[in-house]
Structure formats: C-alpha cells, structure tokens
Amino acid sequence: MNNHELFQRARQLMPGGVNSPVRAFKSVGGEPFFTSRADGAYLWDVEGKRYIDYIGSWGPMIAGHNHPAVREAVERAVRNGLSFGTPCPAEVTMAETITRLVPSIEMVRMVNSGTEATMSAIRLARGATGRSKIVKFEGCYHGHGDSFLVKAGSGALTFGVPTSPGVPKQNADLTLTLPYNDLDAAKALFAEQGEQIAGLIIEPVAGNMNCILPREGYLQGLRELCDAHGALLIFDEVMTGFRVALGGAQAHYGVRPDLTTFGKIIGGGMPVGAYGGRRDLMEQVAPSGPIYQAGTLSGNPVAMAAGLAVLELVQAPGFHDTLASRTRLLCDGLQAVADGEGVPFSTTRVGGMFGLFFTAEQVETFDQATATDTAMFNRFFHGMLARGVYLAPSAFEAGFMSSAHSDQDIADTLQAAREALREART
C-alpha cells in the first residue's frame, strides 16, 4: 500500500488520519508520508523513498534513529518482560543519572509523556504554594493539559486554535499569559497578581513557535521575580533537556529552576516523561506527601532501558560540541544559500536545536515569529521534501540535529535548499 492509500484509510479511522495533529501536514498542505523504517539520520517511507530527517521523532533521536546501543538495550530488557508493576532497578539508575546530570534535580518522578510531566509539575506548584494561578508564555507549548492550551504553540498555533474549545473558562482564567522575552511585562504582572501565582512555567528556549532564544538576562530576571513573589520557577525542558547542553538549558544559561520537566530524549523514543527538582518540593508528592500523582506504566523497564542507553551516548566527551558545530554548519550554510538567492531569511540555534525563519529580521518574539512568510516556508518545505529532506511540517516548530547527521548529509541538504529556494521564490 502506498502513502496516499494509507492516508485515505487512516482518515476514515482516526481524526485527521493521525494520532498527533502536526503529523497531518495540514498547515503545509499535501499528505504525510508513512515511515516504514528509520536508521541514523534517515527515514524511509513505505514507497522506499529516503529522507534526511531533521525532526528525529520530534526530539528523542539525538543519537540518530535505531542506534545499535539503544536497540540492544531494549532487546535485552524485553527478554525479561515488558512491565512488572513493581519497582525495577533501571528506575533507580535513571533517577541517579538525571540527578547527577542536572544539579537542580534533587529528586525525580518518572511519567509517560511530556504532557504528564508538566501537568504534574503545576499540580505540585499549586499544592506546595497553596496558590492557584500559573503563568505561561504566548507561543510556548507544554503538552495538551487543560491549563496549557491557552495561547499555546506547536500544533495549537499551527492550526490557529491556540486556546482550545473544551478547556473550561474557569480553568483558562487561572492561566495567565505573557509575551516571551519581555521582562517588563512579567514584572508588571507579578506586581499586580504576584501573591496569587503558584508558578511560572517556561520553555527556556522556546521551541514550539519555531525556535526563539531567551534574551540575555531574561531567564535570570524571571528567577528573581519568582523569588521576590514566592512563586516557583518551572523550566519545561521536555525539548531542551540533554539537547542544548548535557545539563539542559538551565546549564547553558546558568539559571536554577525549582522544578523541571523532561520528556523526549530521556525515553530514547519510548513514551517517557519526568518531573523533578527541589527535594523539599518533591517530597510533597505521593506517597511521601499528599500531592497525588501516579502511573500504571511509569518507570517501565523497557522504556528506562532505551532512555538510559541514549543518556549514556550523550555523555560521551564532546558530544554536544560536535552536535552544536553540525547545527552551526547547517544554519550558516542555509543562510549563505538564502543570501545567495536574495531570499530574506534568518536562523537561530543553540546546541542541537535550530529555527529557520523567512524574514530578514533576527527573531526574538512571538509576534515576529508569526509575522514571517509562512507561505514561502510551505513552498520551501515541499521543495525540500521532494528532494528527500524532511523538515518539520509547520513554520512554528524547531528543527533537531542528531549525532548521526554527517557533513555529507548537511552538504546534500544545502544543495536541496538551493534548488528548493529558487523554486519557492518564483
């Protein structure tokens, strides 16, 4: 069965033919391909076409697809059974690894997705502070929990429904939103409502409205504001954790949050999330404390094996330096190609994460990101896809580099970009 036939069938059976909205290609137009196999930097669709993949399963595949060390760890774990419903040794190793690599994490709880991690973190923030309001940023995405689907990014932004029907008004009213990278706006909000705010949650590098880096001193400023008003600072590192640096964005920018959420890389491609932070806060989580949170499959032995294998790989000396230099090579190369073709274009990057914008401006805000030429992006996306390069199918997603991308892959990507830009411009 080819891609088109599969999609026709899928559309009869699943909303939009997919199990997660952005996969459907709705904003870029056309139909998604169906992957039959992945290895290293590549995906192969059911028709046998190969793509250089800059999404990496939306983040987890930082060491490339189907890495032998990860595959073998999973195979070993599977031989002992899929799930036990009791504690297992790999959970302890995982907790030790995370707390060692990220100093702000003194205790951690494993869950099954990034969404669960962020939902649990704000429950903890509310339970620990006795306050009910949370602050998030316009264009930031923290999964699909009710409290977060207010001016959200990623698919919600892509499809023009940043605040979803089905989120009760009473719930949405407890979520205060701020413009990202505007410290004065945050100061004004805290001056007004600071004593009602349980926590402020932020993607320290915003990766769900394309890729926007925090301005110098911005995260430090938020840290000070939270301290001054007794609110918890929560870094959502589901995307940035172990990617922008070994210790995540908090290590890269030198800011210590109270709580942190993880996902993606810590599961190595399996459904995993985690939240953790200060010991005095985490000890308030059940069963050591009264704030309830649980999961039948949390800390699953096969998922832990996959995640631990990837965390082992990213600890290799120089891993993140090499990843960052590959990302720079790609971004600088794309900039040179766009300049050569006279196309207004800019990029952002940090560690193994990047953003591509069809505008001459350096993008630092949500308003700038949404004002870029998305029609041009969509034409470029399809030009690249036709040439075997898979970028995220939306102008509002970050790109991900892996250690499996070679210089040749990047050179091939730049050649495809030259042709695709020429085509997209006309």
From 141, 180, 218, 390, active-site residue = 141
141 is catalytic: yes
From 51, 54, 264, 409, active-site residue = 264
- 350 touches ligand PLP by CB under 6 A: no
- 239 touches ligand PLP by CB under 6 A: yes
* Minimum CB distance to ligand PLP, residue 129 (Å): 21
Question: Contacts with ligand PLP in 191-210 (CB under 6 A)?
Answer: 203, 207-208
- 235 touches ligand PLP by CB under 6 A: no
Residue nearest to ligand PLP (CB): 114
- 346 touches ligand PLP by CB under 6 A: no
Name the helix (H) or strand (E) containing 169: helix 169-172
Q: By CB under 6 A, name the one of 97, 113, 181, 300 that touches ligand PLP.
A: 113
* Minimum CB distance to ligand PLP, residue 53 (Å): 16
The DSSP bridge partners found for residue 34 are none
- Stretch of residues binding ligand PLP (CB under 6 A), selected from 74-82, 120-128, 232-240, 279-287: 232-240
- 141 touches ligand PLP by CB under 6 A: yes
- 115 touches ligand PLP by CB under 6 A: yes
Which residues does 343 contact at the CB level (< 8 Å), separation at least 6?
358, 376, 421, 424, 425
264 is catalytic: yes
- 236 touches ligand PLP by CB under 6 A: yes
Q: By CB under 6 A, name the one of 32, 40, 56, 114 that touches ligand PLP.
A: 114
Task: Write phi, then psi, for 172 (nearest 5 degrees).
Answer: -60, -35
Give the span between the Cα atoms of 294 and 283, in whole angstroms. Answer: 14
Task: Write phi, then psi, for 199 (nearest 5 degrees).
Answer: -160, 160
Question: Contacts with ligand PLP in 255-284 (CB under 6 A)?
Answer: 263, 273
Which residues does 354 contact at the CB level (< 8 Å), separation at least 6?
211, 327, 330, 331, 347, 348, 398, 399, 400, 401
53 is catalytic: no
Distance of CA 60 to the CA centre of its chain: 9
Give the span between the Cα atoms of 387 and 397, in whole angstroms. Answer: 20
The DSSP bridge partners found for residue 45 are 35
Which residues does 41 contact at the CB level (< 8 Å), separation at least 6?
52, 53, 64, 65, 402, 404, 405, 406, 409
- 177 touches ligand PLP by CB under 6 A: no
CA angle 275, 279, 280 (to 5 degrees): 115
- Taking a C-beta distance cutoff of 8 angstroms, is the pair 199, 129 a contact? yes
> Position of tokens 């059974």?
81
Considering the complex, state which of residue 97 and residue 208 has its C-beta at the smaller distance from ligand PLP: 208
* Minimum CB distance to ligand PLP, residue 135 (Å): 15
* Minimum CB distance to ligand PLP, residue 340 (Å): 33
* Minimum CB distance to ligand PLP, residue 155 (Å): 9
- Taking a C-beta distance cutoff of 8 angstroms, is the pair 260, 105 a contact? yes
Query: Which has the closest alpha carbon to 60: 248, 243, 210?
Result: 243
The contact mask relative to ligand PLP for 26-45 (x = CB under 6 A, - = no) is --------------------
- Stretch of residues binding ligand PLP (CB under 6 A), selected from 46-54, 136-144, 187-195, 381-389: 136-144
Annotated catalytic sites, by residue? 141, 236, 264
Residues that bind ligand PLP (CB under 6 A): 58, 113-115, 118, 141-143, 154, 203, 207-208, 236, 238-239, 263, 273
